[in-house]
Chain A
Amino acid sequence: MEGGRGDGRGPLECRATFLRTGVVGGATGSAYLEVGRSTRMVVSVWGPRQRDRDGEGSSPHEMQLDCHVHLPFARGEAEEAAGSRGTERERTLARQLEQGILPSIQQDRLKKCCVEVQCTILESNGSDFTPAILCTSFALASSNIPLYDLMTSCTLVVVEGRILLDPTAAELARSEDEVSLAYMPSRDQVTFVQACGDWSERSFKECMDNCVDGCKKMRAVMRSFLVELGEGGGRPASHSLDYFQGGGEVCDQGPGAGEDDAGEKAPMSGGDDDEPRREGGGGAARFEESRVSEKLGNLVVADQDLDAELDTLLDV
């Protein structure tokens, strides 16, 4: 690997990600996410319920997505010093999360409803936005809320002229340019962009392309975790590997990706050994499994619908 990334990753390599559903009992859906063992968060989805008549947001007939972000421990020294900056960060992140995730929900089927998302970031190393989107989308997929697609996300920075995917906090602090995207792969739609830096037209397009490739890789990882859940977790490794190679056209480092995958398995088994946690969500997890496979079915149907829709559009 080209050096300089501290953790031995290549420039376009993401950290190993671990996802698990059914961690919050009583919620409609929930998910736990770990990225590279230094970013951890829990997202729970509540509802749909009737929306507040005078709530914030668009007209009272539309669906309302109510996002809350909590950062109980994951505060940098800067925030600690500034005191109130922590809540400012929570609020900004909640707004971004809402913007990013809303287009993936089939809002027409949830009119006048409110879906509540509670995101607790336990530990954070790098961008908060990207893992929050992944985890929320995964939690939504494990609930019964109708979606168009899994929402994926990726952050890219340019440090000393080099493009780096999935930066750590140290890399973020040194970044000259920074782009965060939320992207729905099966619809090929970018639903959220946040970028800051200095680009020409060409170089900005290049950064976007790299970021979208990162999102596509992340989709492969997320789908593999969904499939594991759907299959009851029988042979997780082989499945996730298949999916990873299935998305091979977007995967620059094939063998590297395989190793990555092995890396993901390690925390997975670690999680299973953790008895109390397992017992806590055991019943719920089994219940979720059937839902998830159902959900996967829905997703596939949605894809086909879209294809048909596209075909008719193209014919016209």
Chain B
Amino acid sequence: MATTGEDVWVAGVRGNVRQDGRENSEYRRITIQNGTIEHAQGSALVQIGDTKVLAAASLEIGEPREGRPKSGVVRVTVDCTLCYPVDGTNWRSYDRYGKDLASQVEDLYNGPRGSSKGVLDEENDLCLAEGQSVWCFTIDCVVLSDDGSLLDCLSLACRSCLCDVGIPKFEVLETNEVGPSGPEITIEEDPNQYWQLQCARVPVYVSLGLVETLWVYDLCKNEENHCRSRLTFGVDASGAIKQVVSGASGTCVNYSRNVANIIEAACLAGRKLLSSIDSVDQGKDQHLFHIGK
């Protein structure tokens, strides 16, 4: 007998109906607007249902990370103090939450420790002078409202604002080993020439809620409170898995019965999501997703 909100929700998932009328495999409406911040080098406002994230990317020349002399650097900051009721000192916990989210997205872009390349380096040459100067991207995200699937929305926002970034065409003329303030490079800049960052292989997050042997895409906040078992996959357009993390309160996957189906579901969702985002023109920016199967 259904008694609590959780029971009602679980019963609904078994019958493939959710409280807002969606099926288990249905996303909410996703809206992506590029260029929302005029003076940022790249920006995007992304909405999944009522979850809203504003992201801006800025570009600078900096030093590469240790052990990766030729690859670009991505830094992410997330501010989520705007979207929660903050009183007393509990802003600290949201501050930490924002840092956790940011480091997770950073890890997604940087890949595992032992690899020499990040995600962006697969398609773009971000190296100006090996071991000395590379392009550095700083993505500042502000969470305007959180109605579930925040990681999915964040990763979409980061990807979209990177797609929006135009990188000036530079020609490196001279590289000096030692200058007064570290290594120096001399460059020639043509102010009218830009190249667009290629982001086709940048992954996004797909979060799944797990109920018994079923899974549910794109949980809203209310559903996240009912569903303790959640898994988030970082998946790229080819369906490759880049990162997997557990939801906030642990994950209970019934391993031998479920795991293959869940992995397949996440890869399928990632492929469909990204192919439909990439195929939409800039002007038409509203889509509704249904993963199917």
Contact = CB atoms under 8 A, between A and B. Distances in A.
A99 B114 contact: no
B112 A175 contact: yes
A43 B251 CA distance: 23
Contacts of A99: 246, 248-251
A192 B250 contact: yes
Interface in B241-287: 241-246, 248-257, 259-260, 263-264, 267
B271 to A, nearest CB: 11
B231 interface: yes
Interface in A160-215: 172-179, 183, 187-201, 204-205, 208, 212
Q: Chain B interface mostly helix, strand, loop or mixed?
A: mixed
B174 interface: no
Interface string B118-131: 00000000000000
B255 A190 contact: yes
B255 A191 contact: no
A192 B251 contact: yes
Interface residues of B, number: 35
B93 interface: yes
B96 interface: yes
Interface string A26-41: 0000000000000000
Interface on chain A toward B: helix, strand, loop, or mixed SS?
A: mixed
Given A177-B112, A193-B244, A201-B239, A102 B93 contact: no
B120 to A, nearest CB: 14
Nearest to B239: A201
Given A91-B96, A200-B239, A188 B114 contact: no
B100 interface: yes
B192 interface: no
Interface in A134-179: 157, 159, 172-179
Contacts of B181: none
A190 B254 CA distance: 7
Contact of A198 (B240, B259, B263): B240
Nearest to B232: A193
Given A174-B114, A199-B240, A200-B240, A205 B263 contact: yes
Interface centre among B93, B240, B241, B264 (most CB of A within 10 A): B241
A131 interface: no
A92 interface: yes
Nearest to A104: B250
A201 B263 contact: yes
A268 B241 CA distance: 41
A198 B246 contact: no
B263 A56 contact: no
B50 interface: no
B111 interface: yes
B115 to A, nearest CB: 5
Contacts of A95: 100
Nearest to A199: B241
A170 to B, nearest CB: 10
Nearest to A203: B241
A91 B231 CA distance: 21
Contacts of B39: none
A194 B249 contact: no
A100 interface: yes
B244 A191 contact: no
A103 B264 contact: no
Nearest to B259: A208
A58 interface: yes
A92 B97 CA distance: 11
B113 interface: yes
B107 interface: yes
A75 to B, nearest CB: 17
A204 B114 CA distance: 18
Contacts of A192: 246, 250-251
8 contacts: A99-B249, A99-B251, A178-B112, A189-B254, A190-B252, A200-B240, A205-B259, A205-B263
Given A102-B249, A175-B112, A194-B244, 10 more contacts: A56-B90, A92-B103, A103-B252, A191-B246, A194-B246, A195-B243, A195-B244, A197-B243, A201-B267, A204-B241
